Amino acid sequence: MVSTIELTKRQEQILQIVKDNGPITGEQIADQLNLTRATLRPDLAILTMAGYLDARPRVGYFYTGKSGTQLLTENLQKIYVKEYQSIPVVINENVSVYDAICTMFLEDVGTLFVVDQSSQLVGVLSRKDLLRASIGKQELSTIPVHIIMTRMPNITMCERDDLLIDVAKKLIEKQIDALPIVKQSDKGYEVIGRITKTNITKAFVALGEE
Ligand code: ADP
């Protein structure tokens, strides 16, 4: 994937020449640098692949005008949910709050997705939902999670082919930590994945390291 690469001194010189003189042929760039066309070929290939330069047959190289930041933005628009998704942890709506707490610890997740008898999404449970239920006086093993969960149709969801940046915006806008990745059918929404702030942080780090 294209990214903000560190340019060598020679690549910077080529960029400057093309900025000042483009469109310009490889031969002409080589002349200005007192180098052969063959020596320059790898640099021109890198600059073209990275999106700094574009080449047109019989015209030559020209500067695309894109900065590293612009390229980064373009790359961000190419990352999809399916590339960073995690496995969802799903419980039935009749499971007790007590068992949901145990599941959250055992599975080491911060959000549980709640489904009905036909495995369709009906709710979401966060850590705070479970904490809130726990500070009441009720017996946790007798309260089913559907009493305390955030329920449909108020669930924010996404699909595998959504852009990760759009999911990140939803997490911020709704002030939540995770979204279920769903597949819609006439029965409802099947939960096929999970995307969390951690997944997005991983994508962010990968983008920075490219
Ligand atoms: P916590 O409550 O532990 O800080 P969140 O910020 O994810 O975790 O959750 C805040 C509230 O939003 C909770 O009541 C939770 O049920 C709800 N919530 C979490 N995820 C979603 C979602 N994808 N769609 C709708 N509501 C959600």
H or E stretch covering 191: strand 188-196
| Torsion angle in degrees (nearest 10) through CA of 65, 69, 70, 76 | 160
Residue with tokens 């290939």: 45
User: What gap in Å lies between CA 69 and CA 81, rounded to an integer?
Assistant: 22
What is the residue with the minimal CA distance to atom 25 of ligand 1? 155
pLDDT by residue for the chain (210 residues), tens digit each? 444 567 899 999 999 999 999 899 999 999 999 999 999 999 999 999 888 899 988 889 999 877 777 778 888 889 999 999 999 999 999 999 999 999 999 999 999 999 999 999 999 999 999 999 999 888 999 999 999 999 999 999 999 999 999 999 999 999 999 999 999 999 999 999 999 999 999 999 998 876
* Residue 46: C-alpha distances to residues 63, 76, 79, 85, 110 (Å): 13, 20, 22, 31, 43
Q: What is the pTM of this model?
A: 0.76
Cis peptide before 57 (omega within 30 of 0): no
Which atom belonging to ligand 1 lies closest to the Cα atom of 150?
Answer: 16
Encode burial over 26-60: b for 16+ CB neighbours within 10 A, e otherwise.
Answer: bebbbeeeeeeeeebeebbebbeebbbbbbeeeeb
Instruction: Round to whole Å and give the CA distance between 178 and 79.
Output: 17
- Residue 7's pLDDT is 86
Q: Which residue's alpha carbon is nearest to atom 2 within ligand 1? A: 128
Cβ within 8 Å of residue 6, ≥6 positions away: none
Q: Which domains does the chain have, with CATH numbers?
A: 9-76 (1.10.10.10), 81-208 (3.10.580.10)
| Chain segment 142-162, per-residue pLDDT in tens | 999 999 999 999 999 999 999
pLDDT digits (tens, 9 = 90+) for 84-124: 999 999 999 999 999 999 999 999 999 999 999 999 999 99
Ligand 1 binding pocket mutation candidate from 128, 146, 157, 173 (most atoms within 8 A of CB): 128
Ligand 1 atom nearest 110 alpha carbon: 3
